[in-house]
Amino acid sequence: MKNKVIPLIFSIMLLVSLSFISSANTITLITPAQDGEVSGSYVLNATLDTNTFNITSATFFYYDGSSNVTIGTTTNQTPTNFNYTWVSTALVDVNNYVIWVNCTNQTGLLTSADSSTGVDIDNGNPTASFSSGSFSDNTAMVSTTSLVFGLTADSTIGISSCIGYFTSADSGTVTTTSMTTSANACTNTSTPSTLSLGINEVYSVTIQATDGNGDQTNATARTLRITPASGGGGGGGSSAVKQSIIGDGDTTTSGNVISNFFNSIINWFKGLFN
Ligand SMILES: [Ca+2]
Ligand SMILES: [Ca+2]
């Protein structure tokens, strides 16, 4: 019995002493605060209430919703102060990350952690430039031809979604289409017909990029003209011309028949009197 009681008492004493140590050397994440915003070169700051156990190292992390990623580790600038400059442009813009800090003493046995939730990383608006594979400005195309339009990647601010806008120069009607977004770029391969764009209409086309904060940028618009199909529409045109020619020919032919008819009657009367 005595052999069991002594280790138990020792364990309780150890737990009490550890909780005392923890509560006496507690770290607090000062910046970013809860729901704070991070941009540019940002100083992450954490402080200790006291440092009686020689805490010398603090590591900052972010949690992106699926895993913890180390931002960096720093030693204390004063016994109770830790600063780490984070170049936040290394990440694309996001909302509501968890930033947290963990400090340890030299033996690594004593640790204390703190976090701030709802932190936004916002370094501005996304760029929106038509990608090299996109149709050129002032393109004229038939409605069944492949139409490619997209934005070049913005890996700094990030692009989380895109919408294509086709505004009719005549009616002002706006046709929108969703786009495929991947790796901070977006693209769409379609046809004017699939997008229900009107033949013989001229469209102002832009793409709106949205980043992880909801910030938006429109690409400089390009002009697109939808022409009649070269096979069906063109054939119709030349067919109309032929019909017109045939009509004239018919009239001319009819005139010749009538004229010949009267000429033959006149010749018949002439034959009577001769
Ligand atoms: Ca937030
Ligand atoms: Ca932003």
Ligand 1: centre distance to CA 35 (Å): 5
Do 38 and 45 meet the contact criterion of CB atoms below 8 Å apart?
no
Residue 42 located in a structural domain: yes
Q: Which ligand is nearest to the CA of 99?
A: 1
Cα 38 to its chain centre, rounded Å, is: 21
Least confident of 21-25, 205-209, 234-238, 259-263: 234-238
Rounded distance, CA 164 to CA 151, Å? 10
The residues whose Cβ lies within 5 A of ligand 1, an ion, are: 35, 96, 118, 120
Q: What is the CATH number of the domain that holds 54?
A: 2.60.40.10
Do residues 83 and 53 both lie within one domain? yes
Whether residues 54 and 85 fall in one domain: yes
Give CA–CA dist 30/47, Å, rounded.
7
User: Ligand nearest 95 Cα, by number?
Assistant: 1
Count of domains observed in the chain: 2
User: What are the backbone dihedrals phi and psi of residue 203, each rounded to the nearest 5 degrees, phi first?
Assistant: -120, 145
Mean pLDDT of the chain: 83
Identify whether 129 is part of a domain: no
pLDDT tens by residue, 87-117: 999 999 999 999 999 999 888 778 899 999 9
pLDDT band at 24 (very low <50, low <70, confident <90, very high): confident
Nearest to 91 by CA among 46, 126, 129, 122: 122
C-alpha 208 – ligand 1 centre gap (Å): 23
CA of 110 to the centre of ligand 1 (A): 31
pLDDT (0 to 100) of residue 109: 76
Same domain, 11 and 40: yes
What would the mean pLDDT of 200-218 be, rounded to a whole number?
98
Residues 204 and 100 in one domain: no
Q: Answer with the one of 121, 153, 187 that is the final residue of a domain.
A: 121
Share of the chain above pLDDT 90, in %: 70
- Ligand 2 mean position to 29 CA, how many Å? 24
Nearest to 125 by CA among 218, 46, 247, 37: 218
Residues of the domain holding 14: 2-121
* Chain centroid to CA 92: 11
Angle at 114 between CA 112 and CA 117, to 5 degrees: 165
Structure tokens at 96: 């509501």
189, 208, 227: which is the final residue of a domain? 227
Ligand index nearest the alpha carbon of residue 213 = 2
pLDDT of residue 244 exceeding 90, the answer is no
Tell me how many degrees the CA angle 38-42-48 measures, rounded to the nearest 5: 100
How far does the centroid of ligand 1 lie from the alpha carbon of residue 117, in Å?
A: 8
Ligand nearest to the CA of 125: 2
157 and 195, same domain (yes or no) = yes
Helices (H), the chain: 2-24, 232-273
Reported as a pLDDT band with limits 50, 70 and 90, residue 13 is very low
